[in-house]
Each structure stands twice: as structure tokens, then as C-alpha cells.
């Protein structure tokens, strides 16, 4: 039974890795596409390269939090740990795929954290509420911090670059800066979000932390290459019209924001970060340039995410325990 469970856990981990790549690819170079610095194909290639680098080099920081910090999965009986991992990954994957089909950038971090907590409650496992509260607080500050950074960066860079860079070099200068900052976002995204696919399989002892990060990184790459374009269109075009300097400011703000949380091992949402940053730079030109209808839809899905995945996990694992 355990061998079959391990197979299904790995299958679902690959599935959520794929869904993460599909939904979150936009967080890296969506603004570059929206500002017409890169086309979709070029953006996806860069996201694949730098997202995988971030996952393989620094993905272990947040993997430990997802795998052990919310529910001590490794201390549970082996079969129960596998059931919990399977149910949590399945619940998160279903919600992320649904949101991606709607072209809405949601948080895969919120999805997996809510799912793990819900599954833990279903079997009476000790949920670490203090860690969960800390994560929730960071979730609240992620888009706010990114919006503030984006607003500040845009105001500062707008004044600096147009004064010090000759007009004939502006276009190429902005293009280089947007690409570099977008690659940084992709790296920080890979480092933070790979844990959403690998944390529970590492916690359940299916794979060691290093191998699980590589496994998750490859699954994410597949998601980027097959379905990543959907949410890129929302990030790049539908929140606000992005000038090149706005795209650079938003990407840099988002990357710094997420990278700081990653170094502390906190799973935060790159979706929240880039949307917050784009909202912040949009506000410099006035709230009228921000598509508030799209923002409302995104925020509603953000709020629903951990509760939906938590409820699905709770009901599924409760059913497994009853009928087992």
C-alpha cells in the first residue's frame, strides 16, 4: 500500500508543480510582456532558466517550513503522512488549476499552506498555530510592501533615469533593466514557490529535501512551458497599462520583497507581490489607470484560497480516515 501511496504522492506533486508553473510564471516577466520589451516566447524561456536556478539553489529554505513547520508531517505514522501529503497536494492542485483556467493569479503558497493545515486538523495532528499566524501576517504584508516599494521605485527611477540617460539610449536601457529585474523575480519565485510542490513530499520522507527540490523544479518548468501564457496575459495587460519604467519598478519591487521572505523561510505569494507592485506603480499615475474590476476578482480569489483548499483537504482526509 505504501508503494502505491508513494507513487500517487509523487504524481500529485508533479501535478501541483505543473500548476504552479502555469499560474505563477506570469509573476516573473508578465510586466516585461505587457510593456512589449519581450514577447511571450522569450519571457517563457527566461522564466524557465531562472525559475529553475532559484528552485535548485535556494528552494530548500521554504521547503522545510512547508514540510515540518505547519504540521510535523515527519513525526506522523508513515501511511498517514503519505495520505496527508497526497490530500494536501491534490486539494491545492485542483484550486490552482481552476484559477489558472480563469486566468486569475492566485497564491500557490496560500493553497498548499491552507491544504496542509486542513489535512492536519482532519486527523487531529498538532497544527503549529503560531507559525501559521506568522505566515498569515506575512501574507497580509506581502502585497502592501510590494505596492509601497513599487510606488517609491517608480517615483525615484522616473526622476533619475530621464535626467541621466540620453533620450536615444532610454529604450535599450529600460529593456535591459526590465529583463534583468524580471530574471531576478523568476529566481526569487523559484526559490520561494518550489516548496509548494516539494515541502510535503520532503516532510513525508518520500524524497530528501535536495532531490524533492529538483523534482519540483522540473515539474514547474513543464507548467511554464505548457500553460504559463494564460496568467501572463492578465499580469501583463489587464491590471494597468505598463510603461517600461513601470515594468522595471514593479519587477524589482516584487523580487526584493519575495527574496527577503525566502531568506527567512517564509512561504509568501509571488502573485500577491507582483500584483501589489503593479498596483503601486499604477497609483503613481492615479487610481483611474488601475483596472479595479480585475483587482476585485483577484482579491476575492486570494481571500478564498486557503479556506477552500483547507476545507477540501479536511473533508477528503476525514473521509479517508472514516472509511479506511
Q: What pLDDT sits at residue 125?
A: 85
Which residues in the chain show pLDDT less than 70? 1, 25-27, 63-69, 228-241, 286-291, 324
The model's pLDDT over 230-267, given as tens digits with 9 standing for 90+, comes to 666 666 555 566 778 888 898 899 999 999 998 888 88
pLDDT for the residue numbered 154? 93
Nearest 5°: phi and psi at 165? -100, 125
Q: What is the pLDDT of residue 295?
A: 75
**Quick one: pLDDT at residue 52?**
86
DSSP assignment of 163-198 equals HHS-HHHHHHHHHHHHHHHHHHHHHHHHHHHHHHHH
Task: Quick: pLDDT tens for 262-312.
Answer: 888 888 888 788 888 988 988 887 666 666 777 787 788 888 999 999 999
- Gap between the Cα atoms of 321 and 316, Å rounded: 9
Amino acid at each position: 500500500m505504501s508503494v502505491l501511496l508513494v507513487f500517487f504522492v509523487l504524481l500529485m506533486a508533479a501535478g501541483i508543480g505543473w500548476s504552479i508553473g502555469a499560474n505563477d510564471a506570469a509573476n516573473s516577466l508578465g510586466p516585461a510582456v505587457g510593456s512589449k520589451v519581450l514577447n511571450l516566447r522569450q519571457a517563457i524561456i527566461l522564466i524557465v532558466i531562472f525559475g529553475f536556478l532559484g528552485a535548485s539553489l535556494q528552494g530548500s529554505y521554504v521547503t522545510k517550513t512547508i514540510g515540518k513547520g505547519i504540521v510535523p508531517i515527519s513525526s506522523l505514522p508513515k501511511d498517514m503522512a503519505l495520505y496527508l501529503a497526497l490530500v494536501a497536494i491534490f486539494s491545492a492542485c485542483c484550486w490552482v488549476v481552476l484559477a489558472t483556467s480563469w486566468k486569475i493569479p492566485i497564491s500557490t503558497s496560500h493553497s498548499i499552506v491552507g491544504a496542509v493545515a486542513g489535512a492536519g486538523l482532519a486527523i487531529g495532528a498538532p497544527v503549529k498555530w503560531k507559525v501559521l499566524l506568522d505566515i498569515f501576517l506575512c501574507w497580509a504584508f506581502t502585497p502592501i510592501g510590494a505596492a509601497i516599494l513599487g510606488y517609491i521605485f517608480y517615483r525615484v527611477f522616473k526622476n533619475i533615469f530621464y535626467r541621466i540617460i540620453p533620450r536615444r539610449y532610454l529604450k535599450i536601457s529600460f529593456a535591459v533593466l526590465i529583463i534583468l529585474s524580471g530574471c531576478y523575480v523568476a529566481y526569487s519565485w523559484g526559490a520561494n514557490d518550489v516548496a509548494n510542490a516539494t515541502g510535503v513530499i520532503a516532510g513525508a520522507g518520500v524524497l530528501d529535501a535536495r532531490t524533492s527540490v529538483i523534482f519540483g523544479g522540473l515539474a514547474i518548468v513543464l507548467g511554464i512551458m505548457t500553460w504559463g501564457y494564460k496568467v501572463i496575459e492578465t499580469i501583463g495587460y489587464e491590471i494597468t497599462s505598463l510603461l517600461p519604467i513601470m515594468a522595471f519598478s514593479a519587477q524589482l519591487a516584487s523580487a526584493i520583497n519575495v527574496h527577503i521572505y525566502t531568506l527567512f523561510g517564509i512561504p509568501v505569494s509571488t502573485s500577491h507581490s507582483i500584483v501589489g507592485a503593479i498596483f503601486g506603480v499604477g497609483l503613481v499615475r492615479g487610481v483611474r489607470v488601475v483596472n479595479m474590476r480585475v483587482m476585485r476578482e483577484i482579491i476575492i480569489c486570494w481571500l478564498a484560497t486557503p479556506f477552500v483548499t483547507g476545507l477540501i483537504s479536511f473533508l477528503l482526509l476525514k473521509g479517508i480516515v472514516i472509511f479506511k
